[in-house]
Amino acid sequence: MAAVHLGTVIESGTEAPDFTLRDQDLNEVSLGDFAGRKLVLAFYPADFSPVCTDQLSIYQEVLGEIEAKGTTLVGVSVDSAFCHHAFREHLGLTMPLLADFHPKGEMSSAYGAYREDRGANNRSLVLVDEDGVVRWSYASPSTREIPGANLIFDALAA
């Protein structure tokens, strides 16, 4: 079986692409809403899948530590806002989940996290600084590999 190229996530030093997406409560959320704060975008394939459930549960466990560093963590997938609402409730998540639902994957594509071959996001992390500039990014080499919370803390410390 041939290896699948997972794509290239957005590079450090790039101005973060603007976006406006709906969150789990149907509120519009834009990049500008995070001005003056660091933002970690955690791209993931799908709500309720076993690996995504583990990934977001891990991030929830350390969310207080991330927020204590002046950083907001937001999950992004191509699922609908309604699916995000149920997923958050099911897992007891408090982080916002953004629905890159229609046009499907448009925002995720701008950040290099969308996989056209699967119709879903790759597991990717992007750190945007207080001025809207990408300072760090990571793309998981496998859809089964969770980018650990340690990567987020290392990026925030750098």
Q: Which range marks the domain in which residue 145 is found?
A: 22-157
Work out the number of other CB atoms within 10 angstroms of the CB of residue 158.
9
Q: Is residue 4, in this structure, part of any structural domain at all?
A: no
Instruction: Report the pLDDT value the prediction gives residue 7, as an integer from 0 to 100.
Output: 57
Please report, to the nearest 10 degrees, the dihedral formed by the alpha carbons of residues 34, 36, 40, 43 taken in order. 30
Q: Is residue 115 part of a domain?
A: yes
Is 52 catalytic? The answer is yes
Beta bridge mates, 121: 114
Lowest mean per-residue pLDDT among 101-110, 118-127, 141-150:
141-150
pLDDT of residue 14 exceeding 80: yes
The three-class DSSP label of residue 95 is coil
Q: Give a yes or no: residue 14 inside a domain.
A: no
Q: Is residue 125 part of a domain?
A: yes
Q: Confirm whether 1 is domain-assigned.
A: no
Among the listed residues 42, 52, 98, 128, the single catalytic one is: 52
pTM: 0.93
Summarize the confidence of residues 2-28 as an average pLDDT: 84
Whether 26 is covered by a domain: the verdict is yes
Give the residue-averaged pLDDT of 99-110.
96
| Residue 144 lies inside a defined structural domain of this protein | yes
Q: Considering only 3-7, 55-59, 129-133, which range has the smallest mean pLDDT?
A: 3-7
Going by their DSSP bridges, the two strands 71-77 and 134-139 should be labelled as unpaired
Please provide the DSSP assignment of 125-149 as one string. EEEE-TTSBEEEEEE-SSTT----H
Does 8 fall in a domain? no
What is the rounded CA–CA span in Å between residue 94 and residue 63?
Answer: 9
Q: How many domains does the chain have?
A: 1
Helices (H), the chain: 50-61, 63-68, 81-91, 106-110, 149-157
pLDDT tens sequence across 117-128: 999 999 999 999
CATH number for the domain spanning 95: value is 3.40.30.10
pLDDT at 4: 39
Give the tens place of pLDDT for each residue, 56-102.
999 999 999 999 999 999 999 999 999 999 999 999 999 999 999 99
Range scoring the smallest mean pLDDT among 4-18, 38-52, 72-86: 4-18
Tell how far CA 114 is from the center of its chain.
11
CA distance 65 to 18: 26
Say what the pLDDT of residue 20 is: 98
State percent of the chain over pLDDT 70: 96
